[in-house]
Amino acid sequence: MTQFKPITDTLLASGQIEPGDVERAKAEGVTLIVNNRPDGEETGQPEGREIEKAARQAGMDYTAIPVGSAGFSLPQVDAMAAALGNAEGKVLAFCRTGTRSTLLWAMTQAKAGRDLETIAHEAQGAGYDISPVRPTLEMLSQQSGD
């Protein structure tokens, strides 16, 4: 069973979920599932459309913002910020381990002008290290003041 790790009161991160995890997510108050994992990244992983179908059948929203080996881009940060901003409940973001989802969330928070130490503390509380993207977070944070 996939572990949902709380980053904030409204965001959970996890590794790869299965369609069967959707009902448990709904029971935990999740209203939006964000898929940050590209289809076909690993043999045997569920396709995004399978998880989307389970989410829609459960009355939940679903969006895919895949982050592949090319890394992060500003359009992905903006898409994640929009998804989080439009959610009307908890959000479950997943990828292979939850790390890319957490790093992408951290970028949205930095771009919104949140304190970087607070962001780092929240991520660390769920077992994620945002230091690999710290320079990007600093750049996004500086841009938020423009």
pLDDT at 70 (0 to 100): 87
Identify the segments of the chain with pLDDT beneath 50: none
Global pTM value: 0.96
User: How confident is the model at residue 58, as a pLDDT?
Assistant: 97
At 90-119, the pLDDT tens digits run: 999 999 999 999 999 999 999 999 999 999
The pLDDT value given to residue 35: 98
- Contact between 106 and 136 under an 8 Å Cβ cutoff? The reply is no
At the top level of CATH, which class does the domain 5-144 belong to?
Answer: alpha beta
Q: Where are the domains of the chain?
A: 5-144
Alpha carbon 111 to chain centroid, angstroms: 15
Q: What is 56-105 written as a DSSP string?
A: HHTT-EEEE----TT---HHHHHHHHHHHHH-SSEEEEESSSSHHHHHHH
Residue 64, strand partner residues: 35
